[in-house]
Every structure is written in structure tokens, then in C-alpha cells.
Amino acid sequence: MFRDHPEGYYSAILMDVRMPEMDGLEATEAIRKLERPDAKQIPIIALTANAFDEDVQRSLQAGMNAHLSKPVEPETVFRTLEELL
């Protein structure tokens, strides 16, 4: 969806890490490799049930800006977005 919209259309991406065709780590890496300035700058936040330290590190290594474990409290999402935007 990010690729198919004009630059600046999205302010942030809430990325589910477990998706059927392409997982969130792969999707994040694909977004970061796009040849457009917003692909390198847009905040990408992992939303996942995976809460181990190695899961957080994999998210950050893939290019995500933050890692939130489910169940996520709305206040946590809002605070994270506020910090990144």
C-alpha cells in the first residue's frame, strides 16, 4: 500500500509482524529499499505478540523505529507516534 500511494500520503506505518504472504520484517525491508525519500524516513512501528529481546532486535534491524508487543494499550501507541512524528 505504501508503494502504491504518493510520497507523503502516510505519516506512519503500524506494521503487523506476522502476515500471511510477506511478514512485517520483509515488508519493512522492502519499504526501506524503495527509491523515494519518504521510504527512508517514515516511522514504522512493529505490532506483534513477539516480545522477546531478540524479536525487538529483529524489528529494529529490519528498519522499524519501534516495537510494541500485543496487547497494545492505545496510550502506548499514541505516545510512540507522538515521539516519532
Edge-to-edge order in the sheet of strand 66-69? 13-16, 44-48, 66-69
pTM (2 d.p.): 0.92
How do residues 10-68 score in pLDDT, each as one tens digit? Answer: 999 999 998 888 999 999 999 999 999 999 999 999 999 988 899 999 999 999 999 99
Question: What topology does CATH give the domain 13-84?
Answer: Rossmann fold (3.40.50)
**What pLDDT is attached to residue 45?**
98
Give residue 71's pLDDT band: very low, low, confident or very high (50, 70, 90): very high
Render pLDDT for 72-81 as a digit per residue (tens, 0 to 9): 999 999 999 9
The whole-number pLDDT of residue 19 equals 86
